[in-house]
A and B are shown apart, each in its own frame.
Chain A
Amino acid sequence: MTLKALTYLTVGLSFALYIGIAIWSRAHSTRDFYIAGKGVSPIANGMATAADWMSAASFISMAGLIAFLGYDGSVYLMGWTGGYVLLALLLAPYLRKFGKFTVPEFIAERYYSKTARIVAVICLIFISFTYVAGQMRGVGIVFSRFLEVDVTVGLVIGMAVVFTYAVLGGMKGITYTQVAQYCVLIFAYTVPAIFIAIQITGNPIPQFAFGSEISGSGTALLEKLDDIVTSLGFHEYTSGTKARIDVFCITMALMVGTAGLPHVIVRFFTVPKVRDARVSAGWALLFIAILYTTAPAVGSMARYNLINTVQPGEIGTEDGNLVYEERPAWMETWEQTGLLEFDDLNGDGRVQYYDDANPDFAATAERYGWQGNELRVDRDIMVLANPEIAGLPNWVIALVAAGGIAAALSTAAGLLLVISAAVSHDLIKGIFLPGISVKRELVAGRFAAAFAILIAGYLGFDPAGWVAQVVAFAFGLAAASLFPVILLGIFFKRINKEGAIAGMLTGLLFTYGYIEFYKGLFLKWAGSPWGENVAENWFLGISPEGIGVIGMCLNFVVAIVVSHLTAPPPERIQHLVEHIRVPRHFEEGT
């Protein structure tokens, strides 16, 4: 069977599975729709959380990022896993005990304020839309490459599938679909990794393989990699280029941002007990860790394979590089997508791939007659092209396509659900129409989900190249706005409505302002970015990616100071806090 037919078959079967599950487990009540009737086992919830969390970015982009960044890529590995520790220890069990449907609902009750609820809804909607647009773009990339359809057609198919199961099934449908999607995506991620690990080192476990020796050479892979990348003028793979404080802050912003993401938090509302919420976070992280510990191995092996492909001769010598006409077939296919480009600057018909921004290497390059780096590889293709680079069988490539789509769809569905819950439950029922019947709320929720899919689809076209810009903002925003007020709400009884609102707004505006100043978001028409985005200009040397940490600190300080200057929260709020701190207390009778 051809690769194309095989890919259609694999992806088609996986879609049929997802829709089948959605019909079998569709939602009948608002409890089902928002929190899956609180009947999800901790392990199933862990798997669903893992699929929810691991997006197209995790599946498609992360290993590629690490391949090109080396040690500096560690911020994503630690940042996107360490947040679960915060979630499990500081938020999940208490929010589960609180036992309501949404994150803004907690903020509204704890801070006895509709204003706080609206601010929380705004944060939530912004964070979630940023994310969902990225997923839709991921679906587009995978479809256009593997199914050879237009990106637009790919997007529409993706939207239709998500629509079917998110709108029909609600949280219940999504949860069980995500369990299936996790199985597909983790299988698709680890199988090629194992094959490649065996090819390069003979060790089948990727986590150990990238510390092993390259078969028949007696040199460890990472040592060899450091050696070959530096001989092409690149920075050593196992050490970093970013300032220590920046690495620290980016990691922290990603961690805290993870713990503050509403679509992740809400997953812990679906388990039956407080005890389950605690252990479920552990299962979630275990399932996530399988991919996240494989990714750096994939990254290093992909970099090694890529360099060996473009440098068939001795690496770092004048004529060691590939003759363009002899390039392998996978390079040709990716050239057609525009994600891999070759530009023969010195007209010698060979592919020169080196760091032309490195002044120490310039003399060598000049001596060789190289006139600049000639190969541009989009980091997003590393995972998708990896099986082809390694010459793996077609069914593995088809599987990777299905896995990439599963990762994107599962995250998109989770995000669409929190958006729809924020609209139907927090805005419509919570603020505008408190008397709405359960049945009509459910209808409103389904309409909101459908509407959100349309907007997400539109953003997925990414008309202004906007998505990549705002991802850092989504994390910074979650870290600076939602996380601190939820945490304070549980651990400090004295924090009142005034403190929480002032804190959220301070964190939000500061973080937004800093990113707007250096990267430009909404005010491009007014001339932003106003500051040049270089390390010398940054506040304390912290990049816009890491600034959410400072926003978070400001949020904490402002919330505490303002709370102490104003009246303490009412008696019933003190009781509410005591109630959520203990697993079995007021549980009976509520």
Chain B
Amino acid sequence: MHRSNRLAYWRANLRLVAVCLLIWFVCSYGFGVLLVDELNRISVGGFKLGFWFAQQGSIYVFVALIFFYAWRMNRIDRQFDVHED
């Protein structure tokens, strides 16, 4: 594998990680902690929204994020021809 290619692969990986971690941060620390009082003014289906993010929503987002990352990363692997088997 060429050096430039390797760098491009690593950069694509870092970009994906950065996007995922941003979503991770916003949905837990943002909605569940820092903005919780503001969001609690909104009520969705019997839940105050901030409370819901802190006790439910953030966890669903975490699960989805990991599967999304795994799926995208596998595509990047194939694109740069570094996938296994």
A residues whose Cβ falls under 8 Å from a Cβ of B: 66, 71, 73-74, 77-78, 81-82, 84-85, 88-90, 93, 207-208, 210-213, 220-223, 238-240, 244, 247-248, 251-252, 273-275, 278-279, 281-282, 285-286, 289, 292-293, 296, 578, 581-585, 587
Contact = CB atoms under 8 A, between A and B. Distances in A.
Contacts of A208: 45
Contacts, number: 134
B83 A88 contact: no
B58 A78 contact: yes
Contacts of B54: 71, 74, 77-78
A280 to B, nearest CB: 9
A213 B51 CA distance: 17
Given A282-B63, A285-B63, A89 B46 contact: no
Contacts of B73: 93, 278
B1 interface: yes
A240 B32 CA distance: 11
A583 B62 CA distance: 24
B56 A293 contact: yes
Nearest to B21: A89
B26 interface: no
B62 A81 contact: yes
Chain B binding surface, main DSSP class: helix
Contacts of B34: 244, 248
Given A85-B20, A85-B66, 20 more contacts: A71-B51, A71-B54, A78-B58, A78-B59, A82-B28, A82-B62, A84-B66, A85-B24, A89-B21, A89-B66, A208-B45, A211-B45, A222-B48, A238-B51, A239-B51, A240-B36, A578-B6, A582-B1, A582-B9, A585-B1
Given A211-B52, A238-B40, A581-B10, A273 B84 contact: yes
A293 B59 contact: yes
A211 B32 contact: no
A337 to B, nearest CB: 29
B17 A211 contact: no
Contact of A275 (B9, B20, B21, B74): B74
Interface string B24-43: 10001100111011001000
A88 B66 contact: yes
Contact of B82 (A89, A220, A582): A582
A226 to B, nearest CB: 9
Nearest to A88: B66
A296 B54 CA distance: 10
Nearest to B16: A89
